[in-house]
Amino acid sequence: MCSARSTRSKEERGQNRRVISMQLETLLSHESRLAQENLTYASENRFLRETVHFYQFTTQDNALLDDEGTDVGI
């Protein structure tokens, strides 16, 4: 025969498991969202680096031309 104390203890363990399960689900959801955001930011960062590289390349290329548009060489 189960005592009231034993029954209460089992109920508390069950509640604790449910709370922990909900917390774990929430954490996994946040982790998934953050991973997706990280991929987005990494892609944007790559695009910006390529844009800067292209700008630097074209600026350097234009610096090699004189005012008349002829190549002055290096």
3-state secondary structure of 66: coil
For 47-71, how does the pLDDT look when each residue is reduced to its tens digit (9 = 90+)?
999 999 999 998 887 777 655 565 5
Extract the tokens encoding 25.
């689900």
Instruction: Report the pLDDT value the prediction gives residue 40, as an integer from 0 to 100.
Output: 98
d(CA 14, CA 7): 11
Q: Where are the domains of the chain?
A: 1-64
CA atoms within 13 A on the CB side of 65: 9
pLDDT at site 2:
62
